[in-house]
Amino acid sequence: MSSRLLFILLTVIAGFTGLSRHSQAEKPPVPAAKQAILIAHPLGIVLLAKNPDTPMAPSSMTKIMTVLIVIEAIKSGRLKAAAKVKITRTMLRTRGSRLRPKRGTRISVKSLLAATIVGSANDAAKALAIHLAGSEAAFADRMTARAKSLGLQKSRFSNATGFNADGHQMSARDVARLAGFLIDKHPKYYALFGKRSAKIGKKTLRNRNPVLGAVSGADGIKTGQTRKGGYGLAASARRGAIRLILVINGLKSAKARRAEAKRLLEWGFRHLQR
């Protein structure tokens, strides 16, 4: 066991000892979200949970898997970050948050990846999926297969963007585990999730993650919102040796999502840092 991991373990143990001593002073909060999980990473210790294994509509949290598939293709050499993707009519057939490039323009894989991560651009995610797999449906099959290989038992994908579709689902626990995998295995690309904005050509896309700049140590990762799923968020923050990963979903507004994320992350750090 590495010294860093041992330190984290001792910190977490101390935190739980402190939690026991102070349980009457501050009980663990009851999540307001329909689904929630808060994990001390990388040990995988669950600090609190609410319906963590219930299949849910992950909305744009789906794009964490989309991004992972693209990253792994780049790192394996099957895809070049500098390669130019010709934007087709099919790639532009989407709605919601978008980069809105003109049909026929060519955009690098690197730029499309940044637009997907920072701006949650649905057209960028779709363009990457079609470019890599030939169709979004084929790409979704790859996403499902990769989820299975990672042991994400409740994850099934129908698209690369997170739009509601029959059979398109993840659980809060699956989202948290996927986020942890990306953080550990691809730290260079994970850093993109912490960027507050990204300039793609003449357009500037803003990151909607509400904990960036609002919670000390917050460095990613992805919001999500659809009518079926409500307002959701996968968030991670690190203070010293402690990293927390939070997933919440099913909230009624962006304001409620922001408040819930701050409340649960701050609670987690207070108890692990006693």
Catalytic residue among 59, 111, 120, 158: 120
Active site residue 50: no
Q: What is the mean pLDDT of residues 7-16?
A: 48
Catalytic residue among 63, 126, 195, 222: 63
Active site residue 3: no
Amino acid 231 reads Y
Residue 223: pLDDT above 50? Answer: yes
Helices 136-149 and 63-76 meet at what angle, rounded to 10? 90
Q: Please say whether the beta carbons of 136 and 122 come within 8 A.
A: no
- How high is the pLDDT of residue 108? 98
Active site residue 120: yes
Binned at pLDDT 50, 70 and 90, residue 17 comes out as: very low
The DSSP 8-state label assigned to residue 56 in this structure reads B
pLDDT tens-place string over residues 168-199: 999 999 999 999 999 999 999 999 999 999 99
pLDDT tens-place string over residues 142-156: 999 999 999 999 999
In the structure encoding, which two tokens stand for residue 228, read together? 């079926």
**How far is Cα 145 from Cα 126, in angstroms, rounded to an integer?**
18
In the structure encoding, which two tokens stand for residue 197, read together? 């904005």
- How high is the pLDDT of residue 26? 67
> Which pTM value belongs to this model?
0.91
Find the length of the chain: 274
Catalytic residue among 60, 155, 171, 236: 60
Domain containing 235: what range?
3-272
239 DSSP β-pair partners: 242
Q: Please say whether the beta carbons of 236 and 219 come within 8 A.
A: yes
Sign of CA dihedral 91, 93, 98, 99: positive
> Domain of 81: which CATH number?
3.40.710.10
**How far is Cα 235 from Cα 220, in angstroms, rounded to an integer?**
6
- How high is the pLDDT of residue 6? 43
Binned at pLDDT 50, 70 and 90, residue 28 comes out as: confident
- How high is the pLDDT of residue 25? 52
Q: Please say whether the beta carbons of 274 and 253 come within 8 A.
A: no
How many alpha carbons fall within 13 Å on the CB side of residue 241? Answer: 15
Binned at pLDDT 50, 70 and 90, residue 20 comes out as: very low
Q: Please say whether the beta carbons of 157 and 168 come within 8 A.
A: yes
Work out the burial of residue 50: count CB atoms within 10 Å of its CB; fewer than 13 is exposed, 13-18 middle, 19 or more buried. middle
Q: What is the mean pLDDT of residues 105-123?
A: 98
Q: How many domains does the chain have?
A: 1
CA dihedral 59, 178, 116, 239 (to 10 degrees): 110
Residue 201: pLDDT above 80? Answer: yes
